[in-house]
Amino acid sequence: MAKKADQYFRVDPWKVIEEGFDPAYARVSESVFSLANETLGVRGCFDEGGSVDSLRGAYMNGVYDIQALPKSYRGIVDKTHFMIPAAEWLATKITADGETLDLGKARFHSFLRVLDMQSGTLERSFVWQTAGGKAIRITFLRFLDRTARERAYQRVTLEALNAPADICFASGLSFDVMHEGYQKCFWQTPRLQASDGMLMAQCETAASGQTVFAGALLSLAYKTEACTDERGAYLCARFTLEKGQKTSIDKRVVILYDGTGGETLWSHGLKALQRSREVSLDEALNAQRAYWDAFWRTLDIKIDPSDEETAEAVAAEQQGVRFCSFQLAQTYNGGSMRHNIGAKGLTGEAYNGHAFWDTEACCLPFYLFTNPEAAKSLLMFRYNTLPQARERAKMLDCKGACYPIATLNGEEACSLWQHASLQLQPSTAVAYGIWHYVHVTGDEDFLWSMGAEMLLEIARFLASRVEKGAETGKYGFFGVMGPDEFHMMVNNNAYTNYMGKRTLSLAADTLTEMRSEKPQAYALLAEKTNLSEDEILSWAEIADGMFVPMGENGLIEQHDGYFNLPHTDIHSIPVSQFPLYDHWSYDRIYRSDMIKQPDVLMMLYLYNSSFSGDVKRVNYDFYEPRTIHESSLSPAIHSILAAELGKMEEAVRFFGFATRLDLDNYNRNTREGLHITSIALAWVNIVYGFAGLRSDGEGLSFAPRLPERWSRLSFSILYRGRVISVRMETEKTAFALAEGSDLPVRIYGRECVLTGTECFFPAGG
């Protein structure tokens, strides 16, 4: 692995701490200090702005605009959509004796920024030393309400330390926000109002026609002046802060997008703002703490070091794991089935806010075992966007439904045709997600009411995209790009063929079972979709005849011709050349055997129980040294397989990378936003990697393997109305049901029944 960790933030079990400020690291910090509540998200940017390098992003899930693209060949998208920054609600301007606060220019000391994962708050404080010799301590606190998700809060506290200061304090709401990539503000037709401690602003997007309302209540003990500009509304107060005097200004904000607009939204916004009067910032803060308390009570993962020597490294891992769970739950926790999980969540503009196949392939297990309702909502998003997937299949001259590689609203938004047209993994991942959800939760109603229809349409798509090789006479997918995006337009990509095979046989089995078990529902579905029994038979026939290129020793060739590609020694690439997409020409990455992320290994991970240990070992040993992990999804998958193969040192090394990917800026691109979907894999890494959970076989099985540097690992998962608590120690693992009825499971391959009483299993089985 050629990547290195930056060590910038202070390690703490529950906080991320920045002591002192490095302007060169400003954007990385902004990403790491992001807050979200599923609906709203905001980067950790400075409230007061200034000349520090910054991406001032405050985003709303599902709020985007659309841009037409030059008309190109058939099948290549001719428009795209992308998340845009929404109302800037933190806007603050502070002047003291006529000098404006700007940390890019001013003198200051005692800078401290803290993200507290037990309260979901971000606090930043420092002492500003003005050119005139005044020392003013300033503290900014912010948080986004976890329960009333249209609400956000800011508190600014000023304290004159050594002398009186004449302060001018301005606070605003503004839609004058630039999308950095397009260098354009997408908001138009503003309606603005500022008066009596209250700000209101409403704007509409240029092309998607979405309207957003923003309102704020300011608690200022001083007389204010109100003003508006092109797209913003502001209140300003002037006052003198006596020596030793401290004052706080609370801002309660409402940001609303409810699908309405005009007068209707304005009045909904006003009402929501009035309702927010009923709760003070301190009350909201207490509720926030209670929310996170309850979250951590069930879902915390606790790691203890085995001795003094490992304590520091383990403390960093502990912080990393909590940071990942925290950021993932902030981004999505089942609050809405209209939204999905953007690869960067609500933390930056890279990837345009789009959700990828990552949701089903990487994030779903976290929700399946911590919040199954949220897992269902994610699949409902796919069901609700089935019409767009059907349209996409047509554009590609295929039948059925082709799910997009990148989307916010169900339409394909990826303008790189190689990815949009050649990647079949979004569709096979949705099928896998449906199967995994039903398999884990037992929610057959979902399968018959929605899952079966999606499976049918995906199978139809695959059957219309598959072809027979002229020489082999076997079925395969030609002209595709598998998960390894460093090889495009390849034939018989093993992952695509294998996932296609499994999807087609899953669809055939599901519909056959539906025909006999749920004849009425089947008849309705068959009529709605014009499904024939011959079609189902053809899926089974294709699945049986699918080419999966496995040699006698179990080594699987990633795609036709892969073994003949020139070799790249990945360790010879200097760290300064990462990320490669910024330093290598686009075509250069396609010309060797270097792979971006697990491809063959990905299918061995997803359908784990279908492959022997020997097959996993031979493929891991071959592909791992060729993998550059340029996708953040990569290290955790490697760690899980390494743990299964008993390569514990490697498993721990990859885990460190996966779990601190953003905290340590491993991929040198955290500045663009957090890798939210790979953050999900940090949890998976613990539960599937070190506790050895497998959920793709009969029932659940565990094979705990505790890394040497840990003395204990404990966590809980939810499963069909039960809470399973697991406590791994050096010599043994204890399993118990904290809630729910007895559960048969397999531990180290042996059948046993979990009950309310702790039972112990010696390490290694």
Side chain identity at residue 737, one-letter code: L
CB 75 → ligand BGC: shortest distance, Å?
20
Beta strands in 540-604 (DSSP E): none
26 interacts with ligand BGC by CB under 6 A: no
- Quick one: 250 or 662, whose CB is closer to ligand BGC? 662
Side chain identity at residue 262, one-letter code: G
* 453 closest CA partner among 404, 525, 554: 525
Contact indicator for 343, 404 with CB cutoff of 8 Å: no
The beta-carbon contacts of 561-567 under 8 Å, at least 24 apart in sequence, are 561/490, 561/491, 562/487, 562/490, 562/593, 565/591, 565/592, 565/593, 566/591, 566/592, 566/593, 567/592, 567/593
Task: Report the alpha-carbon angle 616-622-624, nearest 5.
Answer: 85
* 422 closest CA partner among 369, 509, 474, 495: 495
357 interacts with ligand BGC by CB under 6 A: yes
Task: Report the alpha-carbon angle 55-156-325, nearest 5.
Answer: 55
- Quick one: 38 or 599, whose CB is closer to ligand BGC? 599
Report d(CA 320, CA 670) in Å as an integer: 14
The region that residue 567 occupies, defined by phi over 0 for left and psi between -120 and 50 for alpha, beta otherwise, is beta
Report d(CA 28, CA 349) in Å as an integer: 14
CB 351 → ligand BGC: shortest distance, Å?
6
Report d(CA 538, CA 549) in Å as an integer: 22
148, 175, 179, 186, 198 from 87: Cα distances, Å:
18, 5, 12, 11, 15
- Quick one: 508 or 602, whose CB is closer to ligand BGC? 602
* 407 closest CA partner among 428, 382, 383, 390: 382
CB 98 → ligand BGC: shortest distance, Å?
48
CB 609 → ligand BGC: shortest distance, Å?
23
| Binding letters toward ligand BGC, positions 677-716, x by CB under 6 A | x---------------------------------------
Report d(CA 630, CA 612) in Å as an integer: 28
Task: Report the alpha-carbon angle 710-716-717, nearest 5.
Answer: 130
With b for 16 or more beta-carbon neighbours within 10 A and e for fewer, the 562-591 pattern comes to beebeebebeebeeeebebeeeeeeeebbe
631 interacts with ligand BGC by CB under 6 A: yes
CB 761 → ligand BGC: shortest distance, Å?
36
Query: For residue 138, which phi and psi values (nearest 5 degrees)?
Result: -125, 135
666 interacts with ligand BGC by CB under 6 A: no
The one catalytic residue among 18, 48, 485, 650? 485
605 interacts with ligand BGC by CB under 6 A: no
- Quick one: 510 or 670, whose CB is closer to ligand BGC? 670
- Quick one: 421 or 441, whose CB is closer to ligand BGC? 421
Instruction: List the interface residues with ligand BGC, window 329-348 (CB under 6 A).
Output: 343
Report d(CA 204, CA 188) in Å as an integer: 5
Cis amide linkage into residue 579, ω under 30° from 0: yes
Point out which span in 109-117, 316-324, 351-359, 561-569 binds ligand BGC (CB under 6 A): 351-359
CA 330 to chain centroid = 9
| Binding letters toward ligand BGC, positions 252-291, x by CB under 6 A | ----------------------------------------
Q: 218 pairs with which residues across the strands?
A: 251
Report d(CA 571, CA 625) in Å as an integer: 9
Classify residue 31 as exposed, middle or buried by CB count within 10 Å of its CB (0-12, 13-18, 19+). buried
356 interacts with ligand BGC by CB under 6 A: yes
CB 630 → ligand BGC: shortest distance, Å?
7
Report d(CA 633, CA 461) in Å as an integer: 26
For the beta sheet containing 759-762, the strands, ordered from the edge strand earlier in sequence to the opposite edge, are: 302-305, 710-719, 722-729, 732-739, 759-762
Give DSSP secondary structure letters for 236-281: EEEEEE-TT-EEEEEEEEEEE--S--HHHHHHHHHHHHHHHTTS-H
- Quick one: 172 or 483, whose CB is closer to ligand BGC? 483
- Quick one: 579 or 744, whose CB is closer to ligand BGC? 579
* 56 closest CA partner among 228, 174, 144: 174
327 interacts with ligand BGC by CB under 6 A: no
Point out which span in 80-88, 240-248, 354-362, 437-445 binds ligand BGC (CB under 6 A): 354-362
596 interacts with ligand BGC by CB under 6 A: yes
Q: Is 535 labeled as catalytic in the residue annotation?
A: no
358 interacts with ligand BGC by CB under 6 A: yes
- Quick one: 134 or 419, whose CB is closer to ligand BGC? 419
CB 326 → ligand BGC: shortest distance, Å?
19
- Quick one: 596 or 705, whose CB is closer to ligand BGC? 596
- Quick one: 49 or 353, whose CB is closer to ligand BGC? 353
SS3 for 188-203 is EEEEEEEECCEEEEEE
- Quick one: 301 or 343, whose CB is closer to ligand BGC? 343
Point out which span in 168-176, 179-187, 225-233, 353-361 binds ligand BGC (CB under 6 A): 353-361
Report d(CA 34, CA 273) in Å as an integer: 24
- Quick one: 175 or 356, whose CB is closer to ligand BGC? 356
CB 58 → ligand BGC: shortest distance, Å?
22
Point out which span in 352-360, 385-393, 716-724, 728-736 binds ligand BGC (CB under 6 A): 352-360
Instruction: List the interface residues with ligand BGC, window 478-517 (CB under 6 A).
Output: 483, 485
93 interacts with ligand BGC by CB under 6 A: no
CA 542 to chain centroid = 34
558 interacts with ligand BGC by CB under 6 A: no
Structure-token pair, residue 418: 């190689």
CB 234 → ligand BGC: shortest distance, Å?
38
* Total chain residues near ligand BGC (CB under 6 A): 11
CB 475 → ligand BGC: shortest distance, Å?
24
CB 358 → ligand BGC: shortest distance, Å?
5
CB 357 → ligand BGC: shortest distance, Å?
6
CB 89 → ligand BGC: shortest distance, Å?
28
424 interacts with ligand BGC by CB under 6 A: no
Contact indicator for 463, 542 with CB cutoff of 8 Å: yes
597 interacts with ligand BGC by CB under 6 A: yes
Binding site for ligand BGC (CB under 6 A): 343, 356-358, 483, 485, 596-597, 631, 633, 677
Enzyme catalytic residues? 485
